[in-house]
Structure 1
Amino acid sequence: MSGRKIKWGIMGPGNISRKFASDLIQSENAELVAVASRTEGKAAAFASEFNAARSYNSYDDFVQDPDVEIVYIGTLHPQHKECVLQCLNAGKAVLCEKPFTMNAEEAEELIKVARENNTFLMEAMWTRYLPAVVKAMDWIKEGKIGEVNMLTANFGFNVGWAPDSRLLDKKLGGGAMLDAGIYPISFASLIFGTQPTNIKSSAQIGETGVDEWFSALFEYGNGKTAMLNSGVRLSLSNDAFIYGSEGYIHLPNFLFGEAAYLHRPGSDVEAFKDDRELHGYIYEAEEAMKCLREGKIESSVMPLDETHDIMKTMDTLRKQWGLEY
């Protein structure tokens, strides 16, 4: 893809922002011009590492930078709402890292402001744009596995017993749901194109009050189901299987989208392998830049209404577990 170079700013130069920036600077379509952090010296170090022209210790000053067209927000989960609002109200387009917000109410507020301000806003659900996931969706649209009836998807890892870590801190939105579970939940939304009509779930709530792991059965009517598992204190296989009436698709380690395999009765397995050298965050950035060049205020790949609906589904799950942030 090529076109007018888009100028980026990054708010919150943490680990996820470092991965995003390392991809972004490889794009001929993008330029990282500014970085902001409330921690003294952190933005300057990040800007130096990625050759950004300016760094800010104040978000107020950062959003007034006239060169910044779009902001990637990689702050901690509970800060997303405040940061997105600050950018939108300054007229900056926004690509906000998942989870978009802490709950559906916050998501609804941000979407309302973006639409009222006629300003681009998108959730950074990077997996949607990975070539292997795109290939799987192409196979489905081409009818290669017939009608999709069942999905299984897992994403989990074991952070160990670290009660002081962000992942187990309830005040910081820790737990499986927002850090890991959102991926299979969003993937189910992508595959079925809607939210479940019925949800059955179970979660392990640990000593720090967060969901350490959970399982959920989503029902969509007509026998269609998604079985989803996630955890931050439980290592899982992290594969996804999409089962149709005429075959199935296997996405090993689906979150990272390195390969996709099409299985059809009586046919050899068709394999797609992604040999990219970058992390893969570049694809969501390219989508956001494409939207900006075309004058769009949201992406058709990750629509704002779907982001809001996914947050409502996650609220339903937390309500079943009695979990409030």
Structure 2
Amino acid sequence: MIKWGIIGLGNIAMRFAKSLSYTKEGKLYAIASKTKDKRDSFYEQYNCDKVYEDYYELLNDEEIDAVYIALPHGLHKYWSIEALRHKKAVLCEKPVGLNAEEMKEIKKEAYLNKTFFMEAMKTRFIPLIHTIKEILKNNEIGEITNIEANFCNNVTDIKQGSYLLDKKQGGALLDVGVYPLSFVMDMIDSEVDQVKSHMEINEAGVDSYFKAILTFENGVIGTIEGAIDRNKERTAIIKGTKGCIEIPIYNRPHKVIVNLNNEESYKIEKELEFDDMYAEIKEVHDCLKELKLQSENLSLNESIRVMNVLDEIRKTAKIN
């Protein structure tokens, strides 16, 4: 049985704890938060063995095998590295850090400590994503020409002081942009050659909207959008020379529509197993059982690769 600790007890941590409860290989053993109300509420709901107000106390608990880090973005690198130094396997919520350099530091520590690390980019592990990649591999829609994905929300209840409004760690690109970016890069077997992007900055000084056009070395064009100030139907479209694939709610898909140029079309539906976080937890359990230091589906280098492009989007952005 893999015993988990959770550092940071926001809404995403609650979803993780619920997903973890569906597994047979792992259990929630300990939680840590600096906020008493959160600790009390979480314990009452999930009834774990240990409750800590100090993160180091949790990391020093020798009973814990793995740690889920659900803190604000700017704290991901520091506590991932501390957990690795305490020989705890780490599943760190996305984005894995603020930039590629932070992920490179995490990779170094994972190797030095011979300890497992994975970014919690849940989309990569959902079964239907693997089905889509098989469709592409089988050339059913021909050569890919374009791919589009967006993640646009109108977040109206951002509290003053929220990390989303922090100039260092806030904004749409870091919070939601990693979803379409990681999805597009997962689907295209090529490196990004050129990036063109623009951002809109809100009164708090963070990007409330961005759009980026990625040109891959093989000629494929990827277009991604993200927002925290507007809504848009969340979907991905992969266009090829023989047809296209539509993926509604691509970040946790349960349906795919394949439209072929000969006017044939078909639909594939696969319900999520329990929920959208279960598959990534199962991946961690499988990797730990096989004594792996990283996942083949989302390696340390792959997280660096995605963050490199995110850095380039930020660097090349024309500001409105």
Task: Kindly state the Cα deviation for residue 298 of structure 1 after the two structures are TM-superposed.
Answer: 0.3
Indicate the percent of aligned positions where both proteins have the same amino acid.
34
Count of matched residue positions in the alignment of Structure 1 and Structure 2: 319
Task: Kindly state the Cα deviation for residue 256 of structure 1 after the two structures are TM-superposed.
Answer: 2.2
**5+ residue gaps, structure 1:** none
CA distance in 1, matches of 2:266, 2:47: 42
CA distance in 1, matches of 2:230, 2:196: 20
Task: Kindly state the Cα deviation for residue 46 of structure 1 after the two structures are TM-superposed.
Answer: 1.2
Residues 1:310 and 2:306 aligned together: yes
8 Å CA contact retained: 1:10, 1:73 = yes
Task: Kindly state the Cα deviation for residue 182 of structure 1 after the two structures are TM-superposed.
Answer: 0.8
8 Å CA contact retained: 1:239, 1:253 = yes
State the partner residue of 2:151.
155
Letter matched to residue 132 of structure 2:
A
Task: Kindly state the Cα deviation for residue 269 of structure 1 after the two structures are TM-superposed.
Answer: 2.2
Q: Which runs of 4+ in 1 moved over 4 A?
A: none
Task: Kindly state the Cα deviation for residue 188 of structure 1 after the two structures are TM-superposed.
Answer: 1.3
CA distance in 1, matches of 2:95, 2:230: 20
Residue number among 167, 172, 178 corresponding to 1:176 in the alignment: 172
CA distance in 2, matches of 1:70, 1:297: 12
State the partner residue of 2:27.
31
Letter matched to residue 107 of structure 2:
I
1:264-322 superposed Cα distances (whole Å, 9 cap, x missing partner): 23364221223337331010000011000001000010111110121111111112238
CA distance in 2, matches of 1:193, 1:53: 44
CA distance in 1, matches of 2:200, 2:131: 35
Residues 1:19 and 2:15 aligned together: yes
Q: Give runs of aligned pairs for residues 1-325 of structure 1, distance below 5 A.
A: 5-160=1-156, 162=158, 164=160, 166=162, 168-171=164-167, 173-266=169-262, 268-276=264-272, 278-321=274-317
**5+ residue gaps, structure 2:** none
Task: Kindly state the Cα deviation for residue 222 of structure 1 after the two structures are TM-superposed.
Answer: 4.3
8 Å CA contact retained: 1:167, 1:179 = no
> What is the DSSP-based 3-state SS (H/G/I as helix, E as strand, rest coil) of the residue aligned with 1:197?
strand
CA distance in 1, matches of 2:238, 2:296: 22
Task: Kindly state the Cα deviation for residue 124 of structure 1 after the two structures are TM-superposed.
Answer: 0.4
CA distance in 2, matches of 1:160, 1:42: 23
Task: Kindly state the Cα deviation for residue 109 of structure 1 after the two structures are TM-superposed.
Answer: 0.6
Letter matched to residue 97 of structure 2:
T
Letter matched to residue 112 of structure 2:
E
8 Å CA contact retained: 1:133, 1:260 = no
8 Å CA contact retained: 2:143, 2:242 = yes
8 Å CA contact retained: 2:195, 2:316 = no
CA distance in 1, matches of 2:32, 2:132: 37
8 Å CA contact retained: 2:92, 2:120 = yes
Q: CA RMSD in A?
A: 1.9
Gap change, CA 1:45 and 1:261, over 3 Å in 2 = same
Task: Kindly state the Cα deviation for residue 195 of structure 1 after the two structures are TM-superposed.
Answer: 3.6
The answer to which of 163-172 and 241-250 deviates more is 163-172
8 Å CA contact retained: 1:156, 1:235 = yes
CA distance in 1, matches of 2:221, 2:40: 48
CA distance in 1, matches of 2:191, 2:217: 11
TM-score by length of 2: 0.94
CA distance in 1, matches of 2:66, 2:34: 19
8 Å CA contact retained: 1:7, 1:32 = yes
1:93-115 superposed Cα distances (whole Å, 9 cap, x missing partner): 00000000011111111110111
CA distance in 1, matches of 2:159, 2:47: 36
Gap change, CA 1:219 and 1:114, over 3 Å in 2 = same
Letter matched to residue 33 of structure 1:
Y
8 Å CA contact retained: 2:167, 2:205 = no
8 Å CA contact retained: 1:166, 1:172 = no
